[in-house]
Amino acid sequence: MAEPAAVLVAARDEEATIAATVTALREQFPGVVVIVADDGSRDSTAAEAELAGARVIKLPRRGKGQALTFAEQAAAPGPIVLADADLVGDLRALRDGEADLAIAAFADRRGGGFGIAKRAARELIRLRSGFAAREPLSGQRRLSVEARDRCFHLAGGFGCEIRMTIDAARAGLRISEVELRLEHSETGRDLRGFAHRGRQLLDALLAAGPLAVNHRGVRLPIVGWTLGLRADPAVSAVAAIGLADDVWSGPERGFKGHLGAGHTTGVLKLVGIPLVGLLATRKLSGALLVGLVANFLNQLDTKPGRALKAYLVGALVVGAPLGNAVLLLPYDLREKVMLGDAGSNALGAMLGLSSVSRLTGRSRWLAIGALAGLTLLGERRSLGELIERTPGLRTIDRLGREP
């Protein structure tokens, strides 16, 4: 197998181990650049890595998967190796064989919890791809050029390895697990250890679900479909239609693009969401309001927090529910999750249905006219760009969002 183009390491607060890890990796892969993505460390991890000869990328805290994604973007074309920051052992054997994704399986295990997170990870991989993984959480991996292309961007947090295996298996790539004598810091059966495994389990569940890449090139879990749970049946139906678009949509954008392509999930939204509004309200104005508001919020959902802020303003006017939107806003702003079409459309349905109840006949049609105008404008120009060019709106839009 070809030598790797780079070795990628995600590190946070690993000043005690990172220098030894980098030194060992440089000895095992001479001439290969070791890229350390410093994930918001509060200690001297970055300095220690640089002294040991690594190339360091300093990031705000984003989680393991996102840190590795940014490191991969900085690496030269070719195969890559991934390693944990506290690794002790030799990874050269991962180059042997012809697997597209070679995963190190630890020959000896020390410490750890009760195996709940690992068993859950194995089951998630099996359910989503059919692959039976021995080491679903191992961070020591080698990816061929094709595996790198298929698996990056990685899922966020500690779910990155699980989704990597799922993506590789579903793409039909060759996967092997190579038993190696490796060591790394084990989390114990204490409060800190159980908290870590709890994060692993949550990240695994999110990573196995629907994902999308945001404006920054970060792959995030789509959680907007949860707005349809235990909600009005009409909102649940609209969330389901949006989720279908999240999972199966093509490259088409806008009314013209979807209508020109014919049978797309976008056409399903164009027809299905107003139909849900019509059935729920028994009014043409209801169908138009639900469809237009859903489309408007979907057009705004191009930067974190933008659609949710617009929804909250509208909800205060027409009396739509606030609770779930308020809960989701900080996670959306911090780029931990995404609304997706499921979320923006569900918010639109809630706002549209509340508008039918609150607005009178004349004001309802005025709102429909205004929304239709914004929809036509959005077909010609980006509403997001217009917001960013308008001083007052730009300030509100950026409030709470990471630069």
| Residues 75 and 6 sit within 8 Å (Cβ to Cβ) | yes
From residue 51, give the alpha-carbon distance in Å to each of 11, 44, 71, 77, 132. Answer: 15, 11, 18, 25, 40
Position 221 scores a pLDDT of 94
Q: Look at residue 99 and give its three-state secondary structure.
A: coil
CA 206/CA 204 separation, integer angstroms? 5
Asked if residue 371 and residue 283 are part of one domain, the reply reads yes
Asked if residue 92 and residue 175 are part of one domain, the reply reads yes
Q: Look at residue 80 and give its three-state secondary structure.
A: strand
Number of other residues whose CB lies within 10 A of the CB of residue 215: 10
Predicted TM-score (pTM) of the model is 0.84
Position 183 scores a pLDDT of 81
- Supply 250's token pair: 């093509």
Asked if residue 259 and residue 340 are part of one domain, the reply reads yes
Asked if omega into 215 is within 30° of 0 (cis), the reply is: no
pLDDT-above-90 percentage for the chain: 74
Is position 366 within any domain?
yes
> What confidence tens digit (pLDDT) does each residue in 274-303 have?
999 999 999 999 999 999 999 999 999 999
> Residue 108 is part of a domain; what is its CATH number?
3.90.550.10
Q: Report whether pLDDT(192) > 60.
A: yes
> What confidence tens digit (pLDDT) does each residue in 68-88 have?
999 999 999 999 999 999 999
Asked if residue 293 and residue 173 are part of one domain, the reply reads no
> What confidence tens digit (pLDDT) does each residue in 326-352 have?
999 999 999 989 999 999 999 999 999
Query: What is the mean pLDDT of the segment spanning 256-284?
Result: 80
Position 266 scores a pLDDT of 78
pLDDT bracket for residue 15 (50, 70, 90):
very high
Mean of all residue pLDDT scores within the chain: 90
Is position 1 within any domain?
no
Asked if residue 102 and residue 72 are part of one domain, the reply reads yes
Give the torsion sign (CA, 165, 170, 175, 177).
Answer: positive
CA 163/CA 170 separation, integer angstroms? 10
> What confidence tens digit (pLDDT) does each residue in 123-157 have?
999 999 999 999 999 999 999 999 999 999 999 88
Position 257 scores a pLDDT of 54
Asked if residue 280 and residue 330 are part of one domain, the reply reads yes
Element (H, E) at 175: strand 175-180
Lowest-confidence pick of 95-99, 257-261, 321-325: 257-261
Lowest-confidence pick of 22-26, 125-129, 186-190: 186-190
- Supply 64's token pair: 């393991």
Asked if residue 157 and residue 294 are part of one domain, the reply reads no
Lowest-confidence pick of 50-59, 254-263, 375-384: 254-263
Position 354 scores a pLDDT of 95
Number of domain units in the chain:
2
Asked if residue 299 and residue 201 are part of one domain, the reply reads no
Of 186, 208, 230, the domain-final residue: 208
Give the torsion sign (CA, 152, 155, 161, 167).
Answer: negative
Asked if residue 96 and residue 201 are part of one domain, the reply reads yes
Position 113 scores a pLDDT of 59
Q: Report whether pLDDT(262) > 80.
A: no
Asked if residue 100 and residue 157 are part of one domain, the reply reads yes
> What confidence tens digit (pLDDT) does each residue in 351-397 have?
999 999 899 888 999 999 999 999 999 888 899 999 999 999 999 99
Position 240 scores a pLDDT of 95
pLDDT-above-70 percentage for the chain: 92
Asked if residue 36 and residue 129 are part of one domain, the reply reads yes
**Judging by beta carbons within 10 Å of its beta carbon (0-12, 13-18, 19+), is residue 149 exposed, middle or buried?**
exposed
Q: Which domain holds residue 364?
A: 219-398
